[in-house]
Structures are given as C-alpha cells and as structure tokens.
C-alpha cells in the first residue's frame, strides 16, 4: 500500500523528531562538567551518525569515534561507480565535520572489548575507557562457506566490492579490462546479507555499461535465493525492458566452490571472465570476538529501546551487525535510524532519565535500474511494547509504481543528505 505524500512526509520526519522531542528541550546543551565518556567504534552509517547525534543532542558528553579508515566511502551509490556513471570521489567524504563539532576522531583499529573493565583495546596497544560503548562494525564475510574463496580474494583475482573503497575500484578495473564478448558473473549469497536490492542494482549498472561500451558482453546473475529479494517486479521489468539478451538471471544458483574463474554451483559449472562474489555475511569480527554474537551464530541481539546488546548491557550495537526486527532491512538508512534511537537513549541514561518508550524508525532504499532511472522501497517500523521489537506500521511504505527519472534525483539527494546527516557536512 502507498501513503499519501503528506502522510509519508510526516512519517519520514518522525524518526529523528521523536528523539529530539524526547530530550525535553535540553538537546545541545554544552558547558559544565562532562556527564560521561562514550566511545563509538566504526565510522560508517551507524557509528558516524551516533557520534554526531550524541554530541549534537548531548552537548557535554565526551564522544570519541574510532574508525580504521581515514575517510568514509559509501556503499550506497558505489554500484554507479562500477557502471562508470560516478567516480570514487563522488562517494568519499571526510570526518572533518564531526571533528569541528567536538567529536574526537581517532583513526585506528579496535582489537578487543573489555566489557567488565569498560574499555576498548586498540591495535598498537593503547586502551580507551568508556562509560558507554557504541559499536557499529558492519558485516564481515563467511569465506569458509565457499571453497577456494579466501585464496581467490587474497590473490586479488576475485573482488567482492561489498565494502566500498579499494574493492570497488578493483572490480571496476576488472570490468573495464574485460574484452567485449566476455561474461561478468555476479554471485549472490542466501539472505540475510547487507542491502537486499544491492546485487540486482549492481547487475543493472554493469549491464548499462556493457550496453554502451561492450555490447557483445553478458551479465549472469547467480542467485543462491529462489527469487529476487527486493523490488522484484521492478527489477524483473528492468531486466526485460533494458537488458534482454544481455542479462540472464538464474535463481537457486548457490556458489559452492571456485576453481580459477569457474564458479562451481550445485549442479552446474559456470565460467566467467569477471567473477564478482558477494560472500555470505555475519556481524563484524569485533562483536564476534567480544562474545556479543548470540543469534544464529551470526548476529547480535539487541534491546530495541536502547540498542544495547542482550549479551552485554552498556554496549550499544547498531546497523548491519544486529539481528533485525521483522522486515527490517540491513541498510544504511536503517543503521542511521538505529543510531538516533541509541544516541537519544544513551543521553537519557547518562542523565538518569527514562528512555523514550515508543521509538519509530523508517527506511528508504533507492536502486538505479539504468543510469537515468531509479526505484525505491520504503517502510516504517514502530516499537511494540508487548513483543519488545519494532514492527512495520500497517499501510505504511511501499515501492515505486515504475522506474522513473525523478527518483534517480531523489536517490542522489538521499545519499548527499544522509552523508551530511551522519558526518555533519
């Protein structure tokens, strides 16, 4: 079902509004002694947003963000780089905005969490004490599930490009170097993985490049799932309308093993000139080694009112690493919303106040199907006090009626606005 434009606008604003309102007009107070030290690990969609909102709403809280990379490189819009429609600079942003507002930004790797001692350990030996810890480490890969994958990734022969940065560039170079008439195969793991529509957008973006630059080439989508996992009818239409004869979609095609550039599936072998493997995923290594993974041996269970780990109170886990509520996607938009729930709750807990009992979050995810046209899916999730989880609001959300040009402008604006929101740009 689709909401009227007015209802949608009201709901889209709600995620942030609930939290600011619930801080009782004290948001942004500075001066006076610090009311606590919060360390945030991971400067992606969840962590950077949490650092910004802790400082903006909390004022006199010491906020330190630890991120291994010097810059933020966005996965959203990275498929356009693979298609040659955007450059790496278009998806790369710095942390100066956060520094300017008083967040201490430390480039480094957190190697361990000492939950009892309330401190994190850094590569190089340093330690950082905290009163509350926020961890948004994203995903890491279950490489052992595909024979030969680790060696193929180590040699640089196979790129996943499911974390944006050098991997995106490496895959773009492989696509550019491929001779016309070659085969680009994309292996999609079984759900859950980060960004359900992302692989199908990637297939469209690579095919859009081939159409212009290498028209005899082929895109082969090897999906371990029985069907397209998001915006199904819209992607099916795009495959048929724009890439017929060039793009082939194969469901139930789980990758078992790699032998050179041959993908070994259960009943078939597929040879590709460029093989892009999106590996099966689980919560980032840091939360696993810290003992926070407690759902299906893959994800972190959280208490949704505060985003605290159910394994370790006082440690707030955000984004892709969490075991989601019903129909809650692993997306940058959702990680950004988790961060606002956590930031508001942490400030209230540090002040000795009650946390908001009824948070509301929402998700919007755009996908490009051609260089010109995009589609969206959106959903709204309200906390349910009885079942203690977020549930989708009946009648909210929906998908585009059809791919169109105006949504590609909205998609780029969404990305710019979200990067500005999380990084204080």
Asked whether position 200 contacts ligand FAD by CB under 6 A, the answer is no
Asked whether position 407 contacts ligand FAD by CB under 6 A, the answer is no
Q: With respect to ligand FAD, which residue has the nearer C-beta, 39 or 59?
A: 39
Both tokens of 84, joined, read 């040659």
The angle at the Cα of 82, spanning 79 to 85, to the nearest 5 degrees, equals 85
Asked whether position 136 contacts ligand FAD by CB under 6 A, the answer is yes
Asked whether position 83 contacts ligand FAD by CB under 6 A, the answer is no
Q: Are 169 and 88 in contact (CB under 8 A)?
A: yes
Q: With respect to ligand FAD, which residue has the nearer C-beta, 8 or 330?
A: 330
- Minimum distance from residue 213 beta carbon to ligand FAD (Å): 20
Q: Which of residues 234-273 bind ligand FAD (CB under 6 A)?
A: none
- Minimum distance from residue 161 beta carbon to ligand FAD (Å): 7
Q: With respect to ligand FAD, which residue has the nearer C-beta, 49 or 356?
A: 49
Q: Which of residues 274-303 bind ligand FAD (CB under 6 A)?
A: 284, 286
Q: With respect to ligand FAD, which residue has the nearer C-beta, 59 or 333?
A: 333
- Minimum distance from residue 26 beta carbon to ligand FAD (Å): 27
Which of 15, 58, 319, 397 is the binder for ligand FAD (CB under 6 A)?
319
Range in contact with ligand FAD (rule: CB under 6 A) among 54-62, 178-186, 316-324, 402-410? 316-324
Residue nearest to ligand FAD (CB): 44
Q: Which of residues 329-358 bind ligand FAD (CB under 6 A)?
A: 330-333, 335
- Minimum distance from residue 164 beta carbon to ligand FAD (Å): 7
Q: With respect to ligand FAD, which residue has the nearer C-beta, 74 or 217?
A: 74
Q: Which of residues 21-80 bind ligand FAD (CB under 6 A)?
A: 41-47, 66-69, 75-76, 78-79
Q: With respect to ligand FAD, which residue has the nearer C-beta, 35 or 56?
A: 56
Asked whether position 110 contacts ligand FAD by CB under 6 A, the answer is yes
Q: Are 178 and 207 in contact (CB under 8 A)?
A: no
The three-state (H, E, C) secondary structure of the chain, written as one string: CCCCHHHHHHHHHHHHHHHHHHCCCCCCCCCCCCCCEEEEECCCHHHHHHHHHHHHHHCCCEEEEEECCCCEECCCCHHHHHCCCCCHHHHEECCHHHHHCCCEEEECCEEEEECCCCEEEECCCCEEECCEEEECCCEEECHHHCECHHHHHHCCCCECCCCCCHHHHHHHHHHHHCCCCCEEEEEECCCCCCCCCHHHHHHHHHHHHHHHHCCCCEEEEEECCCCCCCCHHHHHHHHHHHHCCCEEEECCCCEEEEECCEEEECCCEEECCEEEECCCEEECHHHHHCCCEEECCCEECEECCCCEECCCCCEEECHHHECCCCCCCCCHHHHHHHHHHHHHHHHHHHCCCCCCCCCEEEEEEEEECCCCCEEEEEEEEEEECCCCEEEECCCCCEECCCCEHHHHHHHHHHHHHHHHHHHCC
Q: With respect to ligand FAD, which residue has the nearer C-beta, 59 or 76?
A: 76
Which of 62, 223, 308, 320 is the binder for ligand FAD (CB under 6 A)?
320
Using CB under 6 A as the binding criterion, the count of chain residues that bind ligand FAD stands at 37
Asked whether position 137 contacts ligand FAD by CB under 6 A, the answer is yes
Binding site for ligand FAD (CB under 6 A): 41-47, 66-69, 75-76, 78-79, 109-110, 136-138, 162, 194-195, 198, 284, 286, 318-321, 330-333, 335, 365-366
């Amino acid at each position: 079902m689709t909401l009227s434009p007015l209802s949608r606008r009201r709901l889209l604003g709600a995620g942030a509004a609930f939290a600011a309102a619930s801080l009782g007009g004290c948001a942004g107070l500075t001066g006076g002694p610090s009311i606590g030290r919060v360390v945030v690990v991971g400067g992606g969609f969840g962590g950077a947003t949490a650092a910004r909102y802790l400082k903006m709403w909390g004022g006199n809280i010491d906020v330190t963000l630890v991120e291994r990379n010097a810059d933020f490189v966005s996965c959203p819009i990275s498929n356009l780089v693979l298609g040659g429609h955007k450059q790496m600079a278009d998806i790369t942003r710095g942390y100066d905005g956060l520094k300017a507002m008083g967040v201490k930004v430390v480039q480094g790797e957190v190697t361990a969490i000492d939950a009892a001692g309330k401190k994190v350990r850094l590569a190089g030996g340093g330690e950082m004490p905290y009163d509350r810890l926020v961890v948004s480490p994203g995903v890491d890969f279950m490489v052992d599930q595909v024979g030969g994958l680790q060696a193929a990734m180590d040699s640089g022969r196979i790129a996943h490009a499911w974390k944006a940065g050098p991997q995106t560039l490496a895959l773009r170079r492989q696509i550019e170097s491929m001779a016309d008439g070659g085969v680009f195969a994309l292996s999609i793991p079984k759900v859950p993985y980060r960004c359900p529509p992302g692989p199908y957008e990637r297939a469209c973006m690579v095919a859009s490049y081939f159409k212009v630059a290498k028209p005899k080439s082929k895109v082969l989508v090897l999906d371990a799932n029985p069907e397209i996992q998001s915006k199904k009818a819209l992607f099916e239409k795009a495959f048929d309308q724009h890439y017929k004869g060039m793009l082939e979609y194969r469901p139930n095609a789980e990758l078992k093993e790699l032998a050179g550039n041959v993908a070994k599936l259960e009943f078939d072998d597929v040879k590709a000139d460029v093989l892009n493997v999106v590996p099966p995923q689980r919560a980032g290594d840091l939360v696993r080694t810290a003992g926070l993974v407690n759902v299906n041996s893959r994800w972190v269970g959280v208490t949704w009112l505060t985003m605290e780990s159910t394994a370790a109170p006082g440690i707030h886990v955000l984004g892709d690493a969490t075991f989601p509520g019903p129909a809650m996607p692993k997306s940058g938009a959702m990680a950004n919303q988790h961060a606002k729930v956590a930031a508001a709750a942490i400030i209230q807990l540090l002040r000795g106040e009650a946390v908001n009992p009824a948070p509301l979050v929402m998700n919007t995810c755009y996908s490009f199907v051609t260089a010109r046209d995009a589609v969206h899916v959106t959903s709204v999730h309200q906390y349910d006090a009885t079942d203690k989880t977020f549930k989708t609001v009946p009648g909210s959300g929906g998908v585009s009626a059809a791919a169109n040009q105006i949504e590609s402008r909205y998609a780029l604006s969404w990305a710019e606005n979200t990067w500005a929101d999380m990084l204080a740009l």
